[in-house]
Amino acid sequence: MSESTAAQPLLDVRDLRVSFRTRSGTVDAVDGISFTVGRGEVLGIVGESGSGKSVSMLSVLGLIDNPNCVVEGEVIFQGEDLLKLDDKELRRIRGKEIAMVFQDPMTALTPVYTAGWHISEQIRAHEKVSKKAAHARAVQLLDAVGIPNATDRVNSYPHEFSGGMRQRVVIAMALSCNPSLLIADEPTTALDVTIQAQILELLRDLQSEFGSSIVLITHDMGVVSQMSDRVLVMYGGRLAEAGPRRALMRDPLHPYTWGLMGSIPPTDGTRVERLAAIPGAPINPSDPDRDRCLFSSRCGFASDACRPQPGLVEHVHGHLDACVLPYDQRPALRLEALTTVTTESGASA
Amino acid sequence: MWRFAGKRALAALLVLFAISVLVFLIFFATPGVDPAARIAGRNASQETLAQVRQSFGLDQPIWTQYGVMMRHLFIDRDLTSFVNRGAEVIPQVQQAIPVTLSLVIGAAVIWVILALVMGVLATAYRGTAVDPIIVVLGVIGVSLPVYWLGEVVNLVTQSRLHDTIFAWVPSLGYVSLSEGFGPWALHLLFPWLTLAVLYAGIYARVLRSEMVGAMNEDYIRMARAKGIGEWRVLLRHALRTSLIVVVSLFGLDFGALIGGAALLTEVVFGLQGIGKLTYDSLQNFDLPVILACVLYAAFFVVLANFIVDLLYAWLDPRVRHV
Amino acid sequence: MSASTTSTSTTPATPSAGPWLNAWRHVRRDRAAMAAVVVLILIILMCLAAPLYENYVAHTDAFTSNVNGTYVVDGQTKPVLEASTEGLGLGVNPIGPTWSSQLFLGADNQGRDVMARMLFGGRNSLVIGFTSAIICCVLAGIVGIVAGYFGKAVDAVLSRALDVLWAFPVYLLAICLSVVLINSSITIGPVTLNSGSIILPILIIGIVYVPYVARPIRGQVLSLREREFVQSAVGAGAADLRLLRREILPNVLPTIIVFLPLMTAINMLTESALSFLSIGVQPPDASWGTIINDGVGLLYTRPMVAIAPGIMLAITAVALNLLGDGVRDALDPKARLRGGV
């Protein structure tokens, strides 16, 4: 079941599966997710590490450099199925139609080339412009992302920028060819909280100015709450919940989302006894027991009904989740989960 | 910047001084070793030994001998050999230099090209059969004793197949470039190849190791995400970063080779280069020549270290402002 | 409210073993390294069995000149050194390989069985290569750890000494020391090393390569020291020993182990070069290098004398290098291999 906006979606992912063949068996990193990204929309994908959020977007662009990786499903972008394109055709799209920003700005740029060189390289890979013209555009871009003294800084090396500045350079580079889709994989995780806010604001400004869609991958609900139009919650390679930001943040449906929300200190003044940490550890991707709701082993409300894997159900328009708990009881159950101190074994008072 | 260079130059001079003292001590002060006996030969009579000591100044205190020899070498520049009395050392060294240079530079050109090709191909085709084949070739190159390889090459080109396939191979020895490029290159062809086998093996492996490591770095994934072709990613990003280490190593090896480290190759192929000069002088306990050769070699090692440090900063911008 | 079960899905499929066991498993899977180990064991066994071969297979004495000796082939007794009546008058019989148990690789110019000599020579080559590698790695480990751990003055002195030692081109230093020492005996205190003792090449080669190994170890200790604990803890006596034993040594040990096969190969090649120049192993002892040296003069007449030990050396070195690669990949995949010389 996929979401659709009024117009034709920019990116239409259908039943995407990414698995890795290892010596101890097959690991399903992404296990059949479907979603769309509309034009000009900001989609937030939230999940813990191991939830498959990064792998899914990397596979969209064919950036997984592992011969033991198998990608199945359909990824329709501007009428083409990206998964059926070979590397040469994908190169047309990478950096030009779909650009990526990665998590660690410290290691994202080849250290022996200047910022201007990097941006020029990307521009000239897609457009026939002279080095001088590309260089000039690089200066403009650095300026647009808020780097002071851009004409000098364009000749600086990556290590000469601070973390936040370096991430701005990467963003400038990503936007250099006016992509219709920007994928940002944990763009602020490696940065200070104060810098985080700046980068997110930058992304928001650029998005409204350039009109690109953004897929924002993060494990931090706070980041998602600031930026997204819609939110996907992933767990264990599957979709747990999906919906518009306001609705999802106000009335989250899935117990996993409650857990994620519970770990944000509420800003509306209510005090909780303890911040609820989700008990247990993230799912082990090589665990073969997958014919159930993968969150059930950590869920305070798990029961036998959690087998087999519940399907995605659209309870309210645009808002879906994959849980068997009765829809009308969710708010009450959520309150219970928030205010109950759960122990490690899951027993509740 | 200049203060840094000045300090390094001073340290280098100290190292050279220490080496000259060390060599002297090894040959003249090792307990149980009598240089006079070495020079005079075994079973020399006491009178011969006394004569030798007197005429070579070996009866002087060590520091005096050291001072005298260093003075002759650097100031008067008329240091003479112990073995060929009257033959000046410095001209001997000067004559040997072009031979070694010809050998080393030619071999270097060959091995650099070989290593680049092997390393890049092994990285580009890693995961296929090409990679382990290249690695094994490199390991074999490193494991063949260079002097043995030279002898086998000689066996084939000078003897066994000399009348058939290798009739064009000239006899062993060096021919100066002034006598024509053809003869010069022909005489050096097999020494070049023999020396290159060893170093190509080393450098192919180092380059491959560095490049494969680089390919796993985040910036390679970023480069691909920019839409750049795989070969450009390999060459402009992975290779360029790997060159930092490889060029540094090359500088050190090249410096050592110019100083005479290709000793075995020169001996096997009959080339009168610095290496052969060093070896002959060592056999004969010809201390002035030994001293000159060792200092010459050490000078280039130290110089190479210095240049490599500068090169490293040029190649790796991260190091520049330290 | 149902209680959730304790999460069994969070325990990993295989219990994680210690780092050494993991490394061993990794090496076992590396087919090249395992093949190398097999080859090495074969070579070692062959060389160990040299006296057996000498007596029971070749029926010869590898060290005594045998110019007028005879041997049996196809039931016929023939002289060992038979002159050729044709061509260049090159020595004819026997030039290996002959595929008979006697004189399998032919005879050298003194009528000695090349194969038997080669097996005996291999013992010396292997022993010298391996022992000097151990000495080198142990010494370099000590120097590197002391310099890196105690820093400041100690480090300055040691590093300068290493610099001077290493500025001496390696082969040159080994050759200098060998030339000087090889024909004389040294007495250090109660210990006397007679000239021609193979302890000499072992020590010389072991010491000469110490800077090569000590520098990376020192670098590693330096960064370990920064990482783990505060400067002030260093130099506090008993605490030092404990730190060294528990934090530094377990991290440095893999590096040293990785160097062992590599240095064995390098040292074997160095010893053979020294022996080739007649300043390594001295007669009546033999090593692969000395046999090659013997063979050089016979190169055009009895090439096997020079070729065979060279091939053995190369095979051993290849095996050691492949093993070293495998060990390095298992213990420290991030290490950059400096290549063997």
End-to-end CA distance of chain B: 11
Interchain CB contact of A108 with B (< 8 Å): yes
C-alpha to C-alpha distance for C180 and B127, rounded to whole angstroms: 50
Question: Which of residues 273 through 302 in chain B touch C, CB cutoff 8 A?
Answer: 278-279, 282-283, 285, 290, 294, 297-298, 301-302
Closest approach of A281 to chain C, Cα-based (Å)? 6
Please report, for residues A17, A95, A278, the alpha-carbon distance to residue A9 in angstroms, rounded to integers and kept in the order given.
20, 20, 34
Specify the pLDDT at position C59: 64
Specify the pLDDT at position C1: 35
Specify the DSSP element, H or E, that contains B182.
Answer: helix B181-215
Asked if A233 and A260 count as a contact pair (C-beta separation under 8 A), the reply is yes
Specify the pLDDT at position B68: 80
Q: A286 and C8 in contact by Cβ < 8 A?
A: no
Please report, for residues B259, C33, C259, C264, C278, the alpha-carbon distance to residue C27 in angstroms, rounded to integers and kept in the order given.
40, 7, 15, 18, 38
Please report the sign of the dihedral spanned by the C-alpha atoms of residue C115, residue C117, residue C119, residue C122: negative
Specify the pLDDT at position A34: 92
Closest approach of C271 to chain B, Cα-based (Å)? 11
C-alpha to C-alpha distance for A181 and A178, rounded to whole angstroms: 9
Residue type, C264: T
Three state DSSP letters for chain C: CCCCCCCCCCCCCCCCCCHHHHHHHHHHHCHHHHHHHHHHHHHHHHHHCHHHHHHHHCCCCCCCCCCCCEEEECCEEEECCECCCCCCCCCCECECCCCCCCCCCEECCCCCEHHHHHHHHHHHHHHHHHHHHHHHHHHHHHHHHHHHHHCHHHHHHHHHHHHHHHHCCHHHHHHHHHHHHCCCCEEECCEEECCCCCHHHHHHHHHHCHHHHHHHHHHHHHHHHHHHCCHHHCCCCHHHHHHHHHHHHHHHHHHHHHHHHHHHHHHHHHHHHHHHCCCCCCCCCCCHHHHHHHHHHCCCCCCHHHHHHHHHHHHHHHHHHHHHHHHHHHHCCCCCCCCCC
Q: Is pLDDT of C12 > 60?
A: no
C-alpha to C-alpha distance for B53 and B71, rounded to whole angstroms: 19
Determine the residue of chain C that is closest to B27 in CA distance: C180
Pairing between strand A213-218 and A181-185? parallel
Closest approach of C56 to chain B, Cα-based (Å)? 31
Q: A111 and B219 in contact by Cβ < 8 A?
A: yes
Least confident interval from B238-252, C243-257, C274-288, C316-330: C243-257
Query: Which residue from B148, B154, B144 is spatially nearest to B187, judged by alpha carbons?
Result: B154
Q: List the single residue in C1, C5, C12 with the smallest CB-CB distance to A297.
A: C5
Q: Which residues of C109-123 are buried (b: 16+ CB within 10 A; e: fewer)?
A: bebbbbbbbbbbbbb
Closest approach of B33 to chain C, Cα-based (Å)? 6
Closest approach of B134 to chain A, Cα-based (Å)? 21
Q: Is pLDDT of C95 > 60?
A: no
Asked if B209 and B119 count as a contact pair (C-beta separation under 8 A), the reply is no
Specify the pLDDT at position A272: 53
Pairing between strand C191-193 and C186-188? antiparallel
Asked if C324 and C266 count as a contact pair (C-beta separation under 8 A), the reply is no
> Which chains are within 8 Å of B by 3+ CB pairs?
A, C
C-alpha to C-alpha distance for B150 and B300, rounded to whole angstroms: 25
Closest approach of B179 to chain C, Cα-based (Å)? 30
Q: List the single residue in C168, C321, C336 with the smallest CB-CB distance to B210.
A: C336
Please report, for residues A136, B219, C223, the alpha-carbon distance to residue C236 in angstroms, rounded to integers and kept in the order given.
59, 43, 19
Q: C303 and B249 in contact by Cβ < 8 A?
A: no
Q: List the single residue in A99, A121, A157 with the smallest CB-CB distance to B317.
A: A157
Q: C5 and A24 in contact by Cβ < 8 A?
A: no
C-alpha to C-alpha distance for C100 and C283, rounded to whole angstroms: 28
Q: B263 and C172 in contact by Cβ < 8 A?
A: yes
Q: Which chain C residues are closer than 8 Å to B263 by Cβ?
A: 171-172, 175
Q: C4 and A281 in contact by Cβ < 8 A?
A: no
Dig out the tokens for C337 from the structure.
Answer: 């291999």
Q: Which chain A residues are closer than 8 Å to C13 by Cβ?
A: 24, 284, 286-287
Pairing between strand A98-101 and A181-185? parallel
pLDDT tens-digit readout, A157-194: 999 999 889 999 999 999 999 999 999 999 888 888 88
Which residues lie across from B292 on neighbouring strands? none
Q: B127 and A67 in contact by Cβ < 8 A?
A: yes
Specify the DSSP element, H or E, that contains B196.
Answer: helix B181-215
| More confidently predicted of A233 and C150 | A233
Q: Is pLDDT of C139 > 70?
A: yes
Specify the pLDDT at position A312: 86
- Taking one residue from A and the other from B, the number of pairs with CB-CB distance under 8 angstroms is 76
pLDDT tens-digit readout, C16-48: 557 778 778 888 888 888 999 999 999 999 888
Pairing between strand A69-77 and A80-81? antiparallel
Q: Is B187 in a helix, a strand, or coil? A: helix
Closest approach of B235 to chain A, Cα-based (Å)? 12
Specify the pLDDT at position C13: 44
Query: Which residue from B240, B227, B220 is spatially nearest to A124, judged by alpha carbons?
Result: B227
Low-confidence ranges of chain A (pLDDT < 50): 1-5, 341-349
Q: B143 and C313 in contact by Cβ < 8 A?
A: yes
For the segment C147-174, the average pLDDT, to the nearest whole number, is 83
Please report, for residues B123, B206, B238, the alpha-carbon distance to residue B130 in angstroms, rounded to integers and kept in the order given.
9, 16, 19
Q: Which chain B residues are closer than 8 Å to C289 by Cβ?
A: 145
Q: Is pLDDT of C55 > 90?
A: no
Determine the residue of chain C that is closest to B213 in CA distance: C334
pLDDT tens-digit readout, A225-246: 888 999 999 988 899 999 999 9
Q: Which residues of C touch A (CB under 8 A)?
A: 1-14
Specify the pLDDT at position A96: 92
Q: What is the ipTM of this complex?
A: 0.86
For chain B, 322 residues long, the average pLDDT of each consecutive 10-residue run is: 76 85 81 69 72 73 80 76 76 90 94 95 90 93 93 85 78 83 89 94 92 91 93 94 90 90 91 91 83 88 86 82 55
pLDDT tens-digit readout, B135-146: 999 999 999 999
Which distant-in-sequence residues (6+ apart) come within 8 Å of C216 by Cβ? C144, C255
- Taking one residue from B and the other from C, the number of pairs with CB-CB distance under 8 angstroms is 158
DSSP state of A43: E
Specify the pLDDT at position A14: 93
Which residues lie across from B52 on neighbouring strands? none
